[in-house]
Every structure is written in structure tokens, then in C-alpha cells.
Amino acid sequence: MGSLTRLWVYLAQTPLLWLTVTVAVYAAAHWLHQRAHARAILNPVLIAVAVIVAILLLTGTSYETYFDGAQFAHFLLGPATVALAVPLYAQLGKLRRLAVPVGVSLLAGSITAIVSAGAICWALGASRQTILSILPKSATTPIAMGVSEGLGGLPSLTAVLVILTGILGAVAGTAVLDALRVRDEAARGFALGVAAHGIGTARAFQVSEETGAFAGLAMGLNGALTAVLVPFLAGLFGL
Amino acid sequence: MLASLALLLGYQLVGEVVARALNLPIPGPVIGMLLLLLTLIIRGQAPEPLKRLSHELLQHLALLFVPAGVGIIAHFQLLQAEWVSLTLALVISLILTLAVTALSMKALTGR
């Protein structure tokens, strides 16, 4: 065995390698995004995921091996979610004034997300399992996976659909909102959070703290509401 | 900063315990977020170090989704089989959801 091969075999087994790759590739994607004046199509999550998938395929590395290292970044999602309370608290005054619009828009948006995704899949002849897997796609990953599993969907497919929804929302969301002439930061952030959960929220924080705070709120509320609505709506439509 | 990190982890832990004890379908961190918000409301202010740490974490929130995103690699076959209906469903549903949510907010706030 050559010394380079031995070095690779050693490195490939430590969590350090894939954690470093994750952070370094993301840092490069973030730099590129900034250089391109934060153009939405150059979304750092999209680029980092594409580059890392290519690296894993080229080196024949399994997702399990990769995740052994990358899980340390993944773990921070928990504390980061808790941290959303801080910008939310800063927007409390505005949030109180907007309690009714927020509640109504949340309910309308959440039902739209669930019913439209299910109806389109059904109309295009998707299997029952696929339909059940896509229903909770606008909720945050752990909620969506739990809901999908409870109904007989495929939790791992749900996870992929959730991530794809988030990336789509981060890439195209602001353009859609521009086209709809929605200018208010609270409304823009809230819509991003309802439609595209945490990845939409990450995108909203790139725009401003206020947009991010409302997106984070929407993500939390829509997660909870989706957990209640999906089983109810699935029952209603006889799924 | 360390005290703030311990605080965030502590609230997450309490959130996880509450979620399990009450058998709630909501993840622990989301409950932790609501409890921390409640605490800040009762205290009447957010401590400076906590503000700095939260800002730092949330600035790079996108990085934390990369490991889960790479999970797509394990589902290429499944996606290949139904990619047309899935793509249409995701794109159209995203646009409709954004439109319904943002336009209701706009109509109800008059802005």
C-alpha cells in the first residue's frame, strides 16, 4: 500500500475529514454567494450539497461514513433552533400587533402547502406512499419525518422532499415574492418560513434580522400545525 | 459566550424532555425555543452575550442543513422513478404556499 493510500484510509475513517470538508466547502460556497452579490441561485446550501455529493461519489464514500463526521454540524441545528427565540423576542412588539394576520396566514399557508402538494402528486398518478411522504414537506425535517412515518409514508423520502422544498424556497422564494409585489419584511419572512422551513429561514436571515425573525416564527408554528393538520387532511381525503 | 451556549443546550434538553414526557409531535428544539422566548418575555430583556451567540449561530444557519441535504445521495433511485410528478408538485406547491401566505399577510395588515 502506498503511503498516500494509507493516509487516505486513515483520514477517511476519522470524523475530522468530513466535518472539515463540510465546513470548508460551505465556506467556499458562502464566499462565492457573497462575491455574486448574494444572487439567490448561487444558494450556499445548494452549491455545498452538490459539491459534497460529487466528492462522495468520486471517492466512493458512503453517506453513513460522511455523516459520522458531518453530524457535528448537523447537531448544532438544535441549539440554533432554540436561538431563534432571541430575534423573535426583539420583534415581539410587532408580533403582538400582527397576531391575527399571522394566525390566519399561517392556517391558510399551511393548508395550501399540504393540499396542493398531495393533489398534484395524486393527479399525476403518484403512488399512495409517495403522496403520504410529500404531504408534510413544508414542515421542518424532524416533524415532517415523524408525520410521514405515522401515516405510512417513507420518512427518508420525506426528508429529501423537505430539503428540496427548502432549497427551492431559498433559491426562488424572494423572486416569487417580488413578482407578487409583497414588500413588507414581516410578510416576506413569514411566507418563506411557512413554505420553506429552516432553509427558507436561513435565506431570510441573509436578507435582514426582521425577515429572519418572522421566518423562524413561521417555521416553528407551521411545524406544529403541520403535525396536526396532515393526519386530519389525509383522513378527510381518505388516504 | 460559554454560559449562553450552555443556556441554549439546556433549553433544548428541557424541550426534549417535555416533548417526550407529554408525547408531543413537536420536536424538542422548537419547544425549547418557545420556552426561551417565554423566559425572555418574563425577564423583560435578552442578555448581551446571548444576543451575540444567537446572531453568530443564525448567520450560518444554512451550513447546518448541509449534512442532511447531502442525504439526497441515498435516494437517487427513488427520485429517478417519480421525478416528474415530484418536481411539479414541489415547485407548484411552493409558489402557491408563498403566494397564499404572503398575500393573506398583505391583505390583513394593509401593507
Q: Where are the domains of chain A?
A: 3-75, 82-236
Q: Which three cell numbers stand for residue A117?
A: 402538494
The partner residue sitting opposite A26, judged by closest CB among B29, B63, B89, is B63
User: What is the rounded distance in angstroms from the CA atom of residue A21 to the CA atom of residue A25?
Assistant: 6
Instruction: Name chain A contacts of B60, Cβ cutoff 8 Å.
Output: 30
Residues of B in contact with A112 (CB under 8 A): 93, 96-97, 100-101
pLDDT at A1: 55
Could you give phi then psi for residue A140, rounded to 5 degrees?
A: -65, 150
Task: Indicate the pLDDT class of residue B83, thresholds 50, 70 and 90.
Answer: confident
Answer yes or no: do B34 and A191 touch at CB < 8 A.
no
CB interface of A with B, residues 116-175, below 8 Å: 116-117, 120-121, 124-127, 130, 134, 137-138, 140-143, 146-147, 154, 156-157, 159-161, 163-170, 172-173
- Determine the average pLDDT of the residues in B71-93: 89
Backbone angles phi, psi at B14, to 5 degrees: -60, -40
CA distance A238 to A71: 38
Over the stretch A160-212, which tens digit does the pLDDT of each residue have? Answer: 899 999 999 999 999 999 999 999 999 999 999 999 999 999 999 989 999 99
Contact A100 B26 (CB under 8 A): no
Between chains, do B85 and A173 touch, taking CB under 8 Å as contact?
Answer: no
**DSSP assignment of A47-105:** HHHHHHHHHHHHHT--HHHHHHHHHHHHHTHHHHHHHTHHHHHHTHHHHHHTHHHHHHH
Q: How far is CA B37 from the centre of its chain?
A: 14
- Residue A76: phi and psi, rounded to 5, are -65, -10
Per-residue pLDDT for B46 more than 90? Answer: yes
Verify whether the Cβ–Cβ distance B65 to A127 is below 8 Å.
no
Of A108-112, A211-215, B69-73, least confident by mean pLDDT is B69-73
Alpha-carbon gap, residue A95 to A84, rounded angstroms: 14
Which range (A99-103, A166-170, B72-76) has the least confidence? B72-76
Is pTM beyond 0.90? Reply is: no
> Residue A230 in contact with residue A111, Cβ under 8 Å?
no
Give A76→chain B minimum CA distance, Å: 7
CB atoms within 10 A of CB A76: 17
C-alpha cell at B108: 390583513
Yes or no: say if B18 and B38 are a contact pair by the CB < 8 Å rule: no
Question: DSSP secondary-structure letter at B17?
Answer: H
Chain B residues closer than 8 Å to A70 by CB: 66-67, 70
Q: Is the pLDDT of residue A14 over 90?
A: no
